[in-house]
A and B are shown apart, each in its own frame.
Chain A
Amino acid sequence: MACTSLPKHSLPFLQASIPTRNPHSPTLTIISKLSQSQIYGLKLSSPSTRLVPSSSLPPRTPMCAKVSKGDVPPSFTLKDQDGKNVALSNFKGKPVVVYFYPADETPGCTKEACAFRDSYEKFKKVGAEVIGISGDDPASHKAFSKKYRLPFTLLSDEGNKVRKQWGVPSDLFGTLPGRQTYVMDRNGVVQLVYNNQFQPEKHVEETLKLLKSL
């Protein structure tokens, strides 16, 4: 069947290089190698083009509002779906996957949550904990978690304070809360920052890939 069709290219306006500044180093570290756009995924963990190798720097708690690879993110205490306070420090000593997502009961977030659920055994196998964070309240998380039988913790970041503190970028000119996943190793140091708004299942692939290499 001969059909006309328009070319399918990545949206150029969504591709960008994101500079990061390390306050402990006079050198501006620029991540110039980006794997993909916001549509197809942005992995902010490639060290190959850093001007200062991350391994030579001690982990730091960022002073500016952005958590990057090599950082120890600021701790937080948020309410889970049962209304209980949960602190990031509760999970010290084990790898932690913290995924920020826009909202409960939206198609992409549901796909992402179900993908984490379906691969949860693999996360348990490597000893990792999975935490989902959005601005929804605990009641919303409870309903969402119950409906899709999610085995992991969902935290309510009401007011999106932690999202802002960690520097999760918004999408689509600031209209959409970003979908970004962080993987912390057993020492609490961020080893992966993965951003992909419209391919939510890829967050699971990328995090598992990284966890297996830790």
Chain B
Amino acid sequence: MYTLTPHSHLPTLPRLPRTCRATATSPARTSTADPPRHLPITATTTITTPATANGSSLHSTWAHRAWVASGFASVLSSLAKSVSAAVDSGSAFDPLLAAFLGYILTDLGTGFYHWAIDNYGGPSTPIFGRQIEAFQGHHRWPWTITQREFANNLHALARAVTFAVMPIEFFATANDAAVHAFVGACAGCVMMSQQFHAWAHGTKSRLPPVVVALQDVGVLVSRAEHAAHHRPPYNSNYCIVSGVWNGLLDEWKVFEAMEMMVFFRFGVRPRSWSELELEWKEESGGVSSESHNC
């Protein structure tokens, strides 16, 4: 969901203690837990200025535009097939319901994906490394997302949508309006989630009135709700389509439960337990270098 923020050298650091928060030193002690992973003892990190120092990283390239175009083509293709099938069947109820379900479930999906990317793995993780690094960069420099051009912001998700929708549409029955509607809605919301996310970082005065209105009524994730995710302890409000699931997931402590399960099963602590807030704390910009010893 987040594009890479160049010039950010994200630390692979051990966690330092903070009052009444967890650290990454104690192993899990249950008969079922695997031996925990021990984080590096010492690391030095140099954090340079965020992407704004190099404006080109925020601009859209033709490759970005091509991926966004293919993503939209996939989405529109699904929706067009749905409309066609609905016209043939004479009923719009099922596809409309399916599209609505797709919109609702995508919000939930973005929450789980966002939680996983925010808390586990690192820049060297296969497949997801770039995204993980980008997510961490986003926490440090959240405002840069509002400066990214449209295709620059969406191209990674558009690429994923293109590759995901193609096989689904290939196997879906041509006259199944509901399936096409569900796929189209899901794919569209996934692809646009990064734009919704960018809008959630915008200021009211600079956003289009229709976007503000949609945020205010809960159709799009609100600025206030998403801002809570960027405040300590950085472990809530992970959903970024409409945010409709955020209250429920936080009330039921779903992510807290999952973090505990992962910890006791695999011995891996999530980043949100870290008391070293450097990886999460919003930077005001400028250069800093830190050396951390455990």
Contacts and interface: CB of A to CB of B under 8 A. Distances in A.
Contact of A175 (B24, B32, B242, B245): B32
Contacts of B222: 1, 3
Contact of A6 (B20, B28, B245, B265): B245
B210 interface: no
A111 B244 CA distance: 28
Q: How large is the interface on B (under 10, 10 to 19, 20 to 34, 35 or more residues)?
A: 35 or more
Interface stretch (A23-31, A66-74, A122-130, A131-139): A131-139
A147 B18 CA distance: 9
Contacts of A106: 22, 260, 263, 273
A177 B265 CA distance: 11
B217 A198 contact: no
A111 B248 CA distance: 22
A52 interface: no
A22 to B, nearest CB: 29
A11 B21 CA distance: 26
A104 interface: yes
B30 A198 contact: no
Contact of B248 (A6, A39, A143): A6
B252 A8 contact: yes
A93 interface: no
Interface in A176-193: 176-177
Contacts, number: 103
A178 to B, nearest CB: 11
A144 B19 CA distance: 11
Interface in B241-286: 242, 244-245, 247-248, 251-253, 256-257, 259-261, 263-265, 273
A103 interface: yes
SS of A interface (majority): loop
B12 to A, nearest CB: 19
Contact of A39 (B21, B23, B252): B252
Contacts of B259: 107
Contacts of A7: 248
Interface of A: 1-8, 11, 39, 102-108, 110-111, 114, 134-137, 140, 143-144, 147-148, 158-160, 172, 174-177, 197-198
Contacts of A159: 31
A198 B30 CA distance: 19
10 contacts: A1-B217, A3-B217, A3-B244, A103-B28, A103-B263, A107-B256, A134-B29, A136-B27, A147-B17, A160-B30
Contact of B20 (A2, A114, A137, A177): A114
B89 interface: no
Contact of A103 (B29, B31, B257): B29
B25 interface: yes
A141 B194 CA distance: 43
B247 A105 contact: no
B216 interface: yes
B8 to A, nearest CB: 27
Interface in B14-71: 17, 19-32
